[in-house]
Amino acid sequence: MKHNLILLLLVFFCTGSFAQEKPLRNLTTLENNWKFINQEVAGAENPQTNTSNWETVSVPHDWAIKGPFDKEIDKQMVKVTQDMETEAKERTGRTGALPHIGIGWYRNTFTLPEFEAGKKALLIFDGAMSDAQVYVNGTKVGNHPYGYSYFYFDISDYLQAGENLLAVRLENPPSSSRWYPGAGIYRKVQILVKDEVNFQQWGTFITTPFVSDQVAQINIKSEVNGDDLKVVTEIKDAEGKIVASKTSSDQFGNLTELNIAVPDPNIWSIENPYLYTAHSKLYKNNELKDELLTRFGIRSVVYERGKGLVLNGEVTKFKGVCLHHDLGPLGAAVNKAALKRQLTILKDMGCNAIRSSHNMPSHEQLELCDEMGFLFLAESFDEWAKAKVENGYNRFFNDWAEKDVVNLVRATRNHPCIVMWSSGNEVPDQWGNEGVKLAKWLQDIFHREDPTRPVTVGMDQVANTLKNGFGAIMDIPGLNYRLPLYDEAYERFPQGFILGSETASTVSSRGIYKFPVEELKQKTYDDFQSSSYDMEACYWSNVPDEDFVWQDDFDWVIGEFVWTGFDYLGEPTPYNEAWPSRSSYFGICDLAGLPKDRFYLYRSRWNTENETLHILPHWNWEGREGETTPVFVYTNYNSAELFVNGVSQGVQTKTKELSKQHRYRLMWMDVKYEPGTLKVVAFDDAGKPVAEKEIHTAGKPHHLKLSADRESISADGKDLSYITVSVVDKDGNLCPNADTQLNFSVSGAGTYKVVCNGDATSLEMFHLPTMKAFSGKLVVTVQASEKPGEINLAVKGKGLKTGNIAIHSK
């Protein structure tokens, strides 16, 4: 069944309201009843073939996420020069070891009763992975190679009365990505029907050139199709109340422009993400032809020398994270509830900014960032003309880069969250004069399409870009890592500030700790895990504290985007050649979304509203009795005292004197392990005890503790509840070493969706209702059906009392 969304109002208000017979715009989201086949199965080169053996799927869809994992998939023999490698090595899990390579076909039949003479129909894709070839009723209507781009086709001339057939061919070649790209139509597809006299697709641009507490200037440029048109725009506040309106009857070619004053504006900010809507109506000869709702925020964004981002008059440092687009066990198929959960977790950490590395973000993510108050750095490419991977974007760059940038900017520029664009990440074109020209060319395209926001590139070849002019022409010089060059870059680049466009790349596995505790680079262990003492990084990267020093001591360092907020599929550094590692270790949170210890280190400095007091490691070290087992505390307090079974281990105070870590962490390096209780008492700056926390050595696994991120969800067939399952002892203490095989069953008004335990080496599939706990935990995701009611999840494990939870779906 198709999901028809009538976007715009049926009722048209004027003096004495009357109901208009038909909506001016019809937006149909093609969600259900898609047919899909992998070409390997069918040899299905012709989209008109019989589809009896095709699978029925819904879109967004990721054809590869159900696996199985296979070492041979996209095994890349490469020398990764960005990783300072000197010889080619076999990288097994680089793109996630999931079956995303190959050709996939999708078909959908649809009818458009509202389409008639004098109308236009646009077929709009938010993203299709990749190299889309699109057919309507057997005729090719167009193609779009880049899997992360938004694109649309005018299909008015290809439609027929009654049923229409849409067919989409996608192809992912091997060696086309450095991470798991997903596969298929992983973002939404819509058909928009409107009058041929209309507001152009993505043709409306709202800016706020003047913002004060008393008044804001709202500038609205609309590109229109048709002559002698009049535009009437009403500005509505978040409650839908009209706060200002204006009419424009001047048209310059296909452009109309309005400047509207909004008195006493409610200004969009991180703390107050207030949104207005512009309701624009298009008239020809006083006949209403089209109308458009555009959500926007009123905020002022400027960048100043020595300060960086000044948001609404306040210097605002980026406390940001980089995110890949995959949603862990859900793969690349976009889901708003999954994105919202990520942002909720990041908000609690005090994070204020997201970088969509290294490509176009989903519209859903941008909408959420507008609503939740995140700044956004919207990136476009990981490659320009020079290759990082053989079949990467370099194949398309010359012909498509301008189009892809234009689509990115036009489709997203009304989002108040976006405060910066990025034209590339660590592009090898940083070398050579041609690359400098490309950098300028791309930046000029961004400026042409959006004169209000600056452009950056995440540069890793900093020494070279200092010499060849590449870094000097950027609006914002973005440095990926390369802390030792920060000083020189600030000194020699003309902009007067630098951005840590990518920082840290610390590696860790949730709940895993290694001894002795030391700062190490590219360290590997036999179990293919990394230590959660947060002391391990890559050759090119560093532990978080190193960045904190630069962020804190130099105003001209305008913030950072940590690699990464969440683990992602693929790129299992430092275990690139170590099967079965198949997902990253870089995340502040693991692939299941569970916070690693590092979460609390960032939280202790980024979340300035709430207390952070976190102890690590866990305290179950059978066999280590009497051995040195350092204890770290991540806290916003400056000092604390640690007790082992009531015996003081002394007071630690944050200090600049000893090491970078001592400035940000409280560390007791000589603690001897004995089972029992670890207790920390934190002091305020006057030396008064203000908070305490304990962890205990856990006994045997006894039962399961279930807790949901949301106990009440929407009965819309899409909403998700994430239930963290912990193996605990009889007193409720987490058993930190438990790896019990758990089984899940869901009944009632929802279905079992996926499970993930955050273990980067697990080959258990996410969509099957069984998985081992990892470090005592995993996360089960259940999905609402379209019927309201209770969703019941039961979790069973050998020798454990069954765990149950009920989620309400309304």
The number of CA neighbours under 13 Å toward the Cβ of 467 is 7
Beta bridge partners of 479: 459
Least distance to ligand GAL from the beta carbon of 358, Å? 6
> From CA 509, how far away is CA 383, in angstroms rounded?
29
CB of 573 to ligand GAL, least distance (A): 6
Residue 583 touches ligand GAL, criterion: CB under 6 A: no
Residue 206 and residue 533: Cα distance in Å, rounded?
47
Q: How far apart are CA 357 and CA 325, in angstroms?
A: 8
Lay out the site mask for ligand GAL across 381-420 (x = CB under 6 A, - = otherwise).
----------------------------------------
Nearer to ligand GAL, 195 or 460 (CB): 460
Site string for ligand GAL, 272-311 (x = CB under 6 A): ----------------------------------------
Measured from the CB atom, is 130 or 781 closer to ligand GAL? Answer: 130
Residue, CB closest to ligand GAL: 505
User: Residue from 172, 505, 604, 783 that binds ligand GAL (CB under 6 A)?
Assistant: 505
Tokens in use for 666?
């409280």
Cα 203 → chain centroid: 26
- Beta carbon of residue 321, minimum distance to ligand GAL (angstroms, whole number): 13
Nearer Cβ to ligand GAL, position 88 or 293?
A: 88
CB 546, min distance to ligand GAL, A: 14
Closest distance between ligand GAL and the C-beta of residue 297, in Å? 29
491 given a catalytic annotation: no
Q: Please tell me whether residue 303 adopts helix, strand or coil conformation.
A: strand
Question: 550: Cβ–Cβ under 8 A, 6 or more apart, which residues?
Answer: 483, 486, 500, 557
| Site track for ligand GAL across 474-503, x = CB under 6 A | ------x---------------------x-
Phi/psi of residue 679, nearest 5 degrees: -130, 140
Distance of alpha carbon 628 from alpha carbon 642, whole angstroms: 15
- DSSP letters spanning 135-169: EETTEEEEEE--TT--EEEE-GGG--SSEEEEEEE
CB count within 10 Å of CB 450 equals 19
CB-count burial class (<10 Å; 0-12, 13-18, 19+) for 116 = exposed
Of 426, 545, 546, 560, the residue at the interface with ligand GAL (CB under 6 A) is 426
Name every residue whose Cβ is closer than 8 Å to that of residue 158 and which is 6 or more positions away in sequence: 136, 137, 139, 141
H-helix segments, 573-625: 597-606
Q: Which two tokens stand for residue 268?
A: 């969009």
Written as one letter, the residue type at 529 is Q
Q: Which of 92, 394, 407, 425 binds ligand GAL (CB under 6 A)?
A: 425
Q: Decide whether 61 or 91 has the Cβ nearer to ligand GAL.
A: 91
Which of 291, 379, 383, 426 is the catalytic position? 426
Is 771 buried (19+), middle (13-18) or exposed (0-12) by CB count in 10 A?
A: buried
> Taking CB under 6 A as the criterion, which residues in 146-175 touch ligand GAL?
none
What whole-number distance in Å separates Cα of residue 139 and Cα of residue 159?
10
Of positions 171, 429, 460, 567, contacts ligand GAL by CB under 6 A: 460
By beta-carbon proximity to ligand GAL, the closer residue of 505 and 733 is: 505
Smallest separation, CB 70 to ligand GAL (Å): 22
Structure token pair of residue 359 = 């490509």
Give SS3 for 13.
coil
Strand duo 418-425 + 455-459: pairing: parallel
For the chain, the straight-line distance linking the first and the last C-alpha, in angstroms and rounded, comes to 21
- Residue closer to ligand GAL (CB basis): 114 or 567: 567
Nearer to ligand GAL by C-beta: 27 or 387?
387
Structure token pair of residue 220: 């609205």
- Which residue, 562 or 613, has its beta carbon nearer to ligand GAL? 562
According to CB under 6 A, which residues from 506 to 565 bind ligand GAL?
Answer: 538, 541, 563
Q: How far apart are CA 586 and CA 542, in angstroms?
A: 11
Under rule CB under 6 A, how many of the chain's residues touch ligand GAL? 12
**Cα distance between residue 95 and residue 74, in whole Å:** 7
User: Cβ of residue 706: shortest distance to ligand GAL, in angstroms?
Assistant: 34
Quick check: is 488 catalytic?
no
Of 31, 291, 383, 502, the active-site residue reads 502
The secondary structure element, H or E, covering residue 405 is helix 397-412
Nearest CB to ligand GAL, comparing residues 84 and 658: 84
CB nearer to ligand GAL: give 38 or 573.
573
Q: Is 426 or 560 the residue whose CB approaches ligand GAL more closely?
A: 426
The string of DSSP letters for 116-134 reads: -TTEEEEEEES--BS-EEE
DSSP state, residue 456: E
DSSP state of 581: -
Cβ proximity to ligand GAL: between 248 and 509 the closer is 509
The token pair that represents 659 in the structure block: 């090491």
Structure tokens at 522: 């590219």
All residues at 6 or more sequence positions from 248 whose CB lies less than 8 Å from its CB, including other chains: 230, 231, 232, 233, 256, 257, 258
Least Cβ distance, residue 272 to ligand GAL (angstroms): 33
In whole angstroms, how close is the CB of 483 to ligand GAL at the nearest point?
14
Task: Provide, rounded to whole angstroms, the least separation between the CB of residue 82 and ligand GAL.
Answer: 5
Q: How far is the CB of 190 from ligand GAL (least distance, A)?
A: 31
CB of 611 to ligand GAL, least distance (A): 31
| CA 221 to each of CA 250, 268, 290: distance values in angstroms, whole numbers, following the listed order | 12, 20, 15
Taking the complex as a whole, the smallest distance from the CB of residue 532 to ligand GAL amounts, in Å, to 18
DSSP state of 578: S
* Phi and psi torsions of 801, nearest 5°: -65, 135
Torsion of CA 682, 685, 690, 693, to 10 degrees: -10
Considering only residues 44 to 83 of the shown chain, the ones binding ligand GAL according to CB under 6 A are: 82
* 6 phi, psi to nearest 5 deg: -85, 105
The smaller minimum CB distance to ligand GAL, of residues 342 and 541, is found at 541
Residue 82 has a CB neighbour count (10 Å cut-off) of 14
Question: Please, what sign has the CA dihedral across residues 414, 419, 424, 425?
Answer: negative
Judge contact between 637 and 664, C-beta under 8 A: no
**Residue numbers at the binding site for ligand GAL (CB under 6 A):** 82, 425-426, 460, 480, 502, 505, 538, 541, 563, 571, 573
**Catalytic residues, which ones?**
426, 502
